[in-house]
Amino acid sequence: MNTKSLVTLSLLVGIGAVLHTVVPGFVFGMKPDLMLLMMFLGIFLLPDLKNALLIGTVTGIISALTTSFPGGQIPNIIDKIFTALIIYAIYTLVRKFAKPTVASLSLTFIGTLLSGTIFLSSAYLLVGLPGPFLTLAAGAILPALVINTVMMAFIYPIAVNILRRTNVAFTS
């Protein structure tokens, strides 16, 4: 891993931590997970298995520290690691056939849905849910799908342009 990649991933995780902290929990303590947006961006801009594992783990730990969901610490870690690895695997297959922007938007949508489902399922199995599964999914996962996908449409082209100008190696 090179220093530029680590610094880039660190900045994305830091931005994600701020977003995750300032967004309030509004449906039984659940909130749209904007930290996922930064995790996905890191995977798309620096597609490497080590990077995906690193950003998934660090994002999971920071999400666990800033969660407002009762008992959501372990489910956050599980969710982020699995989601990062699955999205990385899909992205490595898809990026050869799809335009980078289309791949980033569709995988952000799929990844947010996957992450929310993994989170709620693991929370259900480990600590129980403070409300009905469908209510939690509709109240937090669906808004996050829309927010993350729309924000990725704006952020991804800007990030690609910045990384090209600063000569940070990435494949896109």
| Confidence at residue 172, expressed as pLDDT on a 0 to 100 scale | 46
Closest to 134 in 3D by CA, of 147, 120, 123:
120
pLDDT-based confidence at residue 22 (cuts at 50, 70, 90): confident
Closest to 168 in 3D by CA, of 39, 12, 62, 17:
12
Whether 53 contacts 81, CB under 8 Å? yes
Q: What is the mean pLDDT of residues 57-70?
A: 89
pLDDT-based confidence at residue 105 (cuts at 50, 70, 90): very high
Q: What is the mean pLDDT of residues 32-55?
A: 92
Predicted TM-score (pTM) of this structure: 0.89
| pLDDT at 58 exceeding the cut of 70 | yes
